[in-house]
A and B are shown apart, each in its own frame.
Chain A
């Protein structure tokens, strides 16, 4: 993974000193609430319902074991002993004290981490494919490009006060596991006409109040121009994006109001004027960045599945929580943070410390955070998978549900977030209680359930196969259900099935949707594809045919 040099270290230390002074000025009354808000948000610090929330950047989801240990230590000493992993591969602490934040940032800096630009109207932490470098369907490892973008976007002087937040996702594989079509900018590594490497650039995707699927701005960009092209996109957005209305300030609104053709014309015109003078990524720099992400020292070994007779629990876990690795004899292992009765994406300090130790023992000391709020160990020898499972199982980290109904994406909801209209964690619990029969859950196959506590859509409900949105109706919590959304390369927005339902009715509503699916699915057909084939009507009819018994 990328390692800081002396300059990177100096910069994060200088940032800590800067923020320490800004916090001091705020506490001394030299900065108003509003002034400090603009500064603290650039360091990931929100003032939330119970306490400040601190969001820590995990660049493109990659962590070393030392970093995860440091996060465990911070959770222990400054929080209530746990942290929450997010859909953008970051980590949030929900209980730090404002006065402690500069010290927390200093501890992070000591392990080459920070909270820079994890919130605020600036370029956010770049995200990517959690299977980067190990998936067989990859054209090129996106991580060196992510790091190039990370450095370029860090403290970018021109784009630090944008109309609104700006999220970039990079993928290099056929399958899109980074939800790049619902990002402000999606960067896809592709091959050009002569087989040379470059990028397809999309813009204008996003969720929130106005969900939009990103559109292609340029179908092939030679690789050396990645940063100058991003500068052109950002400059058009910075100058022309709306600033009068927070709800209309994202780039998706600009792209929609101009139309993609006019937006593209403006970006291309801007780019033409900076292409030869703007940042240009030379071959030496690409080689230098690639050298930070070498293949680990894989050992040649037979590619056979672990032969463990009799353990059905292990078999189920192996089937759902591990994935194919491009190197024979290795396996990708997911660590589910979706145990029933635990808030989705939460991990305790003890679990983080254990995972760090397991990463050292079994996976070259690296851990990844996935878009779906789980962790993974990317490089585990087949012969050690069983021992790893045993260790995970003892720690409550082997819930065999990756990619299934209970592997829900879920925002922190009303319990932790000042924006939310409704709880999401307790609804996740109700769904887990209702669907506690693994045979049934497995029979349903691949199913993405995504839940947000409000219109801001941090839980990506619009692009869930089943989406659940918390709404406030006269002071009580209701839930609007959508079906048919998807976040991958075939991204689509879900359709609302009808009037929202009470909290006590959510699980039954999902059960009825699934009944229709089970009755009418074709062979090997996913829920999503059945919805796409049949449309919403049969699902809607079943859900609203009879009232739910409370």
Chain B
């Protein structure tokens, strides 16, 4: 069954494939696990099709800095309801490294995390099936926020009384 995805506020079928999934043609968009990417970076970069990297929670996202221009997608893996490293990975990608491609949350992703994930720079979500119907409401669950973060294009009022980037 094709994977459903919430991307930029719309539900769509995922056109990306993970390396671990069934064989795909060389031009199809491919997501490579972080460790495999680091091991054979040059090999992957020579590939024809669009490329993405799947971060494990412990992956050091800063090690991808030089490769970001070649990457169209970074996915961060959430291993369970308490996992929180992906939030920092997202902000580092958007804010420190100015990554403009897709940042995707995968693994344990439920509606309750969407607002925070979006504020940390995530724009696509492999959401739990039962939560798609509530996604729009979840993304605007709060109409304001106290801290400057990745706020461009999001539907809430930034009330941080501190100035940010």
Contacts and interface: CB of A to CB of B under 8 A. Distances in A.
A280 B87 contact: no
Interface in A461-476: none
B126 to A, nearest CB: 17
A227 interface: yes
A345 B55 CA distance: 47
B157 to A, nearest CB: 7
B162 A14 contact: no
A1 interface: no
A14 B142 contact: yes
B144 interface: yes
Interface string A25-43: 0000010001101110000
B51 to A, nearest CB: 24
Contacts, number: 103
B83 to A, nearest CB: 6
A161 B87 contact: yes
Interface string A148-192: 100110111111111100000000000000000000000000000
B86 to A, nearest CB: 9
B112 to A, nearest CB: 6
A18 interface: yes
B102 interface: no
Given A14-B143, A158-B88, A282-B162, A38 B82 contact: yes
Contact of B143 (A10, A157, A281): A10
Contacts of A245: none
A288 B112 CA distance: 33
Interface stretch (A128-136, A271-279, A449-457, A523-531): A271-279
Interface string A1-29: 00000010011001100100010000000
Given A7-B159, A280-B162, A280-B164, A162 B84 contact: yes
B104 interface: no
B149 interface: yes
Interface string A469-505: 0000000000000000000000000000000000000
Q: Taking each of A148, A277, A281, which has the highest tally of chain B beta carbons within 10 Å of its own beta carbon?
A: A277
Contact of A160 (B110, B116, B159, B160): B116
Contacts of B23: none
Nearest to A224: B162
B164 A35 contact: no
Q: Taking each of A10, A35, A152, A279, which has the highest tally of chain B beta carbons within 10 Å of its own beta carbon?
A: A279
Looking at chain A, what size class is its interface with the partner chain?
A: 35 or more
Q: Taking each of B83, B88, B110, B149, which has the highest tally of chain A beta carbons within 10 Å of its own beta carbon?
A: B88
B46 interface: no
A158 B91 contact: yes
Nearest to A120: B82
Nearest to B57: A243
Contacts of A22: 112
Given A11-B142, A35-B110, A238-B87, A288 B82 contact: no
Given A38-B82, A288-B161, A279 B96 contact: no
Interface string B106-137: 00001010011101100000000010000000
Nearest to A38: B81
Nearest to A278: B164
Contacts of A280: 162-164
Contacts of B165: 277-278
Nearest to B162: A279
B164 A277 contact: yes
Interface in A203-238: 227, 235, 238
30 contacts: A11-B142, A11-B143, A11-B144, A18-B142, A38-B82, A121-B82, A155-B116, A155-B145, A156-B146, A157-B115, A157-B116, A157-B145, A158-B91, A158-B116, A158-B120, A159-B87, A161-B83, A161-B87, A163-B84, A227-B147, A235-B88, A243-B83, A278-B164, A279-B148, A279-B160, A280-B163, A281-B162, A282-B162, A285-B161, A288-B161
Enumerate the 9 nearest inter-chain pairs by beta-carbon distance, A residue then B residue, closest first: A161-B84, A277-B165, A157-B119, A157-B116, A279-B162, A38-B81, A285-B161, A151-B146, A158-B87
Interface of B: 57, 81-85, 87-89, 91, 95-96, 110, 112, 115-117, 119-120, 130, 141-149, 157, 159-165
